[in-house]
Amino acid sequence: MNVDVLITNIGELLPMNADGAVKGKAMNELEIINDAAIAIRGDHVAWIGSMAETTNIQAKKTIDADQNLVTPGLVEPHTHLVFGGSREKEMALKQQGVDYLEILEEGGGILATVNMTRKATFDELYKKARFHLDRMMMHGMTTVEAKSGYGLDYETEMKQLEVVQKLQQNHPTDLISTFLGAHAIPPEYKDDTDGFLEKMADMLPEIKEKECAEFVDIFTETGVFTVDQSRRFLQKAKDAGFRVKIHADEIDPLGGTELAVEVGAASGDHLAVASDEGIARLAQSDTIGVILPGTSFYLGKDAYAPARAMIDAGAAVAISTDFNPGSCVTENLQLIMSIAALKLKMTPAEIWHAVTVNAAHAIDRGSTAGTIAVGRQADIVIWDAPNHMYIPYHYGVNHARTVLKSGRIMYERQAIQ
Ligand code: NIG
Ligand code: FE
């Protein structure tokens, strides 16, 4: 057999192959192939087998995995990738005990980034988002969701969505675009939230026609949008042909988890303070619980999402960085895997499901991303790690050694000369 790339000497291979999202107890069951090899032809996986079977495979390039861990490229189901500026000055405010929602109410927080994003040119936003996306790929992330939501007006929301569209054309990462025009209330609509939501809903047909977003999201939170407003807005989005997501139950328990299930959202995200009822309904549904423990960590909150209760109840859980300039400033999903182990008490097997197959289902990419299987696009990471437990264990650094996207090597760790 002639192939383009042969990855040999794989200590542990995690194929993460499943029919649909992996729910409940099954998240703790991991298929591991020891002493494995993978052959790639063009952009897809041509063969998976054991080292002993590789004798009659001729490859143009062979990569020796040195008995390390090999997994699917990580899938990142929730980021705020495109924004202007940064908010490092808010860190001092947070240290003095000023609350996240208080900062927002004073016109800071999300609204500070809105100002900087409105002022930024298309090229500035593109260059900056591309830099963050490069860094994500260096950390093993080959599929990434990206939200707008720092414009809160027609021009800037479109500018953000068009930046994502251009990145979809020019960057190797598979990017999934989400319209989050309903992310905060801009000062000019302070007393007319419904009017603002109408304005954002008016954009839906054009966004659909230009195909610059696939999902629509809303921040359902105290001082932002109520559950009723969210329900109405998301219904309009569904009527316009979008799938929907919700920033739900992040800070105050408003019932956003229940709403995510009710509207058939692809995912309910955050869920830090989800109610018992919300957890029970999530477990009975096809909605993925996307948990963002880096946000609880970065905002210094005591409340971490009840991931254990969700999994024990039978839900499908994914985890994500929530990469954004305010509540979680990191592109490193591996760090979030450690926080999930330490703070959510998720097992390594559950964590790997949460950053591959389940994350892919949260963004409707279950049939293309998050799995290594014959015929699938070859999105593969070779790690500097002897096994899958090692990544959450050794925290805060980048373990990616080689990252392949659709069969091409995009990143290789360099030794210091
Ligand atoms: O997911 N919660 C709302 N939105 C983002 C934070 C955005 C920001 O602070 O800039 C989140 O945490
Ligand atoms: Fe978010």
From first to last of the 417 residues of the chain, give the pLDDT tens digit.
999 999 999 999 999 999 999 999 999 999 999 999 999 999 999 999 999 999 999 999 999 999 999 999 999 999 999 999 999 999 999 999 998 889 988 889 999 999 999 999 999 999 999 999 999 999 999 999 999 999 999 999 999 999 999 999 999 999 999 999 999 999 999 999 999 999 999 999 999 999 999 999 999 999 999 999 999 999 999 999 999 999 999 999 999 999 999 999 999 999 999 999 999 999 999 999 999 999 999 999 999 999 999 999 999 999 999 999 999 999 999 999 999 999 999 999 999 999 999 999 999 999 999 999 999 999 999 999 999 999 999 999 999 999 999 999 999 999 999
Q: Is 297 in the pocket of ligand 1 (CB under 6 A)?
A: no
Residue 413 has a pLDDT of: 98
Q: Find how far residue 3's CA is from the centre of its chain.
A: 32
The ligand with the least distance to the CA atom of 149 is: 1
Residue 107 has a pLDDT of: 87
247 CA to centre of ligand 1 in angstroms: 9
Site of tokens 């996307």: 290
Query: Count of alpha carbons within 13 Å of 313, Cβ hemisphere only?
Result: 19
326 CA to centre of ligand 1 in angstroms: 6
Site of tokens 């959202």: 265
110 CA to centre of ligand 1 in angstroms: 7
Among protein residues, the one with the nearest Cα to ligand 1's atom 12 is 327
Q: Is 402 in the pocket of ligand 1 (CB under 6 A)?
A: no
Q: Is 23 in the pocket of ligand 1 (CB under 6 A)?
A: no
Task: Please identify, by atom number, the ligand 1 atom nearest to the C-alpha of residue 295.
Answer: 12
Q: Is 109 in the pocket of ligand 1 (CB under 6 A)?
A: yes
What is the rounded distance in angstroms from the CA atom of residue 84 to the CA atom of residue 95? 23
323 CA to centre of ligand 2 in angstroms: 7
Using only C-alpha atoms, the chain has a radius of gyration, in whole angstroms, of 21
Residue 400 has a pLDDT of: 98
Residue 154 has a pLDDT of: 98
Residue 104 has a pLDDT of: 87
Q: CB-based contacts of 339: which residues, under 8 Å, 6+ apart?
A: 293, 294, 297
Query: In whole angstroms, how far apart are CA 376 and each of 6, 34, 48, 165, 369?
Result: 15, 21, 11, 23, 8
Angle between helices 122-138 and 154-170 (to 10 degrees): 50
